[in-house]
């Protein structure tokens, strides 16, 4: 079986497109996909991997639904999945978390997605792309890649634990309120997801060495278990992905602020980051 690095540049992926073991998944908007996508890529609607119900709309759907989704896109145990989107990695990173959860850890992220691919001047396909369906069964989830509300409540304040809040600074401070309450989880550090993308370089991830230094300065170090969240675990798909690329012990809090901010019993802190 072919093995490829977690982070692939467009110029690295292009000569690999003839590999039959590749399954390329586009998580961007459908109209963007129909206009231009990486040759051979299959489109996957992000809604298919969301529970979509309160209090945790950003959680994964049922095992049966996951089995249907991954069968419909043609996933098999031998496939190496390459994921990308049209927004710099939020949905793609969330798909990588979903793959972790179902135990399929053979995957790569196309750095910058379709924007970087086009910037590199590489050929694209247009129109729909039919998948060769498979019979993929998700029998259970690997819970090592997530933390739930109760686990986070237990871990708050522990030296070997950190929380990366990927929302905007105004959401974090409580100035912008989307759930019943605004603010942030006590002790969480805020670094908005879009700050981690290079808009000049086709939304590729910022310089990795500098990003690593930044995370260390925020206390998001390799010796800690790091829970990341946003409002519904979409934006924090990017931070989950970047953390993995930079060797962090990442966990997704899929309930995110939709759950935490709507629960009157959870502790909330307001104000700007210290």
Give catalytic residues, as residue numbers.
Answer: 230
Per the CB < 8 A criterion, the answer to whether 26 and 84 are in contact is yes
Listed residue (90, 88, 59) closest to 235, CA to CA = 90
Per the CB < 8 A criterion, the answer to whether 35 and 26 are in contact is no
Per the CB < 8 A criterion, the answer to whether 203 and 91 are in contact is no
Beta strands in the chain (DSSP E): 7-8, 22-26, 42-43, 80-84, 107-110, 161-165, 189-190, 197-198, 204-205, 225-229, 249-252
3-state DSSP helix/strand/coil percent for the chain, to nearest 5?
Answer: 35, 15, 50
Q: Partners of 161 in the beta sheet?
A: 225
């Amino acid at each position: 079986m072919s093995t490829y690095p977690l982070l692939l540049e467009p110029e690295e992926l292009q000569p690999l497109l003839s590999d039959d073991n590749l399954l390329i998944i586009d998580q961007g908007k459908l109209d963007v996909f129909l206009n231009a996508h990486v040759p051979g890529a299959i489109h996957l609607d992000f809604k298919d991997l969301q529970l979509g119900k309160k209090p945790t709309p950003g959680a994964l759907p049922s095992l049966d639904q996951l089995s249907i989704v991954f069968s419909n896109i043609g996933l098999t145990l031998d496939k190496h999945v390459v994921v990308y989107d049209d927004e710099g990695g939020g949905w793609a990173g969330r798909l990588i978390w979903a793959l972790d959860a179902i135990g399929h850890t053979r995957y790569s992220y196309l750095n910058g997605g379709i924007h970087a691919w086009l910037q590199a001047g590489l050929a694209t396909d247009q129109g729909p792309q039919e998948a060769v369906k498979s019979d993929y069964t998700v029998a259970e989830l690997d819970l090592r890649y997530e933390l739930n509300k109760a686990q986070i409540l237990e871990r708050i304040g522990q030296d070997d634990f950190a929380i990366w809040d990927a929302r905007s600074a105004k959401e974090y401070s409580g100035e912008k309120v989307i759930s019943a309450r605004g603010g942030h989880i006590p002790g969480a550090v805020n670094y908005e997801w879009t700050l981690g993308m290079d808009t000049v370089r086709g939304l590729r991830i910022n310089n990795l060495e500098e990003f690593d230094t930044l995370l260390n300065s925020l206390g998001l170090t390799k010796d800690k278990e790091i829970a990341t969240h946003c409002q519904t675990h979409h934006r924090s798909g990017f931070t989950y992905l970047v953390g993995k690329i930079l060797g962090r012990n990442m966990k997704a809090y899929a309930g995110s602020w939709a759950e935490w901010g709507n629960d009157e019993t959870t502790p909330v802190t307001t104000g700007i980051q210290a």
